[in-house]
Amino acid sequence: MAKTATRFAFARNSIVTFLAVFLFLQSPVWAQSAQQQQEMESIRSVISATQPNMLIQSIAVSPVAGLYEITLENAQVIYASADARFFIPGDLYEAMPQGLVNRGEEKRNIVRAEKIAAVPESEMIIFEPESGRKATITVFTDVDCPYCRQLHGEIDRLNELGIAVRYLGYPRTGLDTETHYKMVSTWCAEDPKAMMTSATRGGNVPQADCDNPIARHYQLGREVGVTGTPALVLEDGTILPGYIPADTLAGYLLNPATP
């Protein structure tokens, strides 16, 4: 009798489980997910066939019905119709009570923050505030860039204000160039911080070589949308291109509500 009851309970539970799975597979949620996957694959196929040099990082449903959001290798975002016929370059803005919000730039900020967070600080040249960090900026720099030199000229003031400056190497002239090798020598110097200061003052940079991250930094800069130096990346991934005076930058970082 006990065995019969056990078999009956097992059979009943199996039927219930089967019906639950069957109903889920027939539900609009499952059907929609399968359709979305098919549409995203169609978009990927069209881009691969027509723009083979366009490297896709991800494709996701956008906030606008019928549009998909495509994130490219350089952190740029484009949009595509569900039937993969229409592609829209540029940013998507959403009307909010505080004004128009750039959803495309929000997406890029997330990508930048994640990628830069993956870089160990041991690969960076860091100028640390003695009193502790109140804010941190990560700077793609070039020792031959005039505005990078101007920014570094205020490094003491930035540190005094509690701002840590973390340098990544980004030779504007590209890899295997004179500036590239000068930056390798800076990173490989016995005292990289002192050499950075000397180089940005126009001092001689003795040739040095080691296992260095400059090529990785350069590629990272291209991936996150760096187009010139200095490029200042904030902790939330926001990028501020060009030189900004130390006190102005501190006001932005430490008092974001201040107009």
Q: Last residue of some domain: 43, 70, 104?
A: 104
Q: Are residues 151 and 76 in the same domain?
A: no
| 210 in active site | no
Asked whether residue 10 is domain-assigned, the answer is no
In whole angstroms, give the CA distance from residue 133 to residue 149: 22
Amino acid at residue number 243:
Y
- Give pLDDT, residue 12: 55
Asked whether residue 15 is domain-assigned, the answer is no
- Give pLDDT, residue 234: 97
- Give pLDDT, residue 170: 98
Asked whether residue 259 is domain-assigned, the answer is no
Alpha-carbon torsion (123, 233, 249, 258), positive or negative: negative
- C-alpha distances in Å from residue 11, one per residue of 20, 25, 75: 14, 21, 53
Order of all β-strands in the sheet with 163-169: 125-127, 163-169, 135-141, 231-233, 239-241
Q: Which of 142, 144, 149, 166 is catalytic?
A: 142
Q: Are residues 149 and 95 in the same domain?
A: no
- Please state the domain count of the chain: 2
Whether omega before 230 lies within 30 degrees of 0, making that bond cis, reads: yes
Q: Which of 108, 112, 144, 148 is catalytic?
A: 148
Cβ(137)–Cβ(165) under 8 Å? yes
H/E element, 49 = helix 28-50
- Give pLDDT, residue 195: 97
Q: Are residues 95 and 140 in the same domain?
A: no
Q: Which of 108, 112, 144, 145 is catalytic?
A: 145
In whole angstroms, give the CA distance from residue 64 to residue 139: 34
- Give pLDDT, residue 1: 52
| pTM (2 d.p.) | 0.77
Read out DSSP for 139-163?
Answer: EEE-TT-HHHHHHHTTHHHHHHTTE
- Give pLDDT, residue 73: 77
- Reported as a single tens digit per residue, the pLDDT across 75-99 is 788 999 999 999 999 888 989 998 8
- Give pLDDT, residue 171: 97
Q: Are residues 164 and 49 in the same domain?
A: no
In whole angstroms, give the CA distance from residue 156 to residue 165: 10
In whole angstroms, give the CA distance from residue 36 to residue 172: 40
Which residue numbers in the chain have pLDDT < 70?
1-32, 256-259
Which residues form the domain of 92?
A: 20-104
- Give pLDDT, residue 94: 86
In whole angstroms, give the CA distance from residue 185 to residue 189: 6
Q: Last residue of some domain: 51, 74, 104?
A: 104
Amino acid at residue number 225:
G
Length of the chain: 259
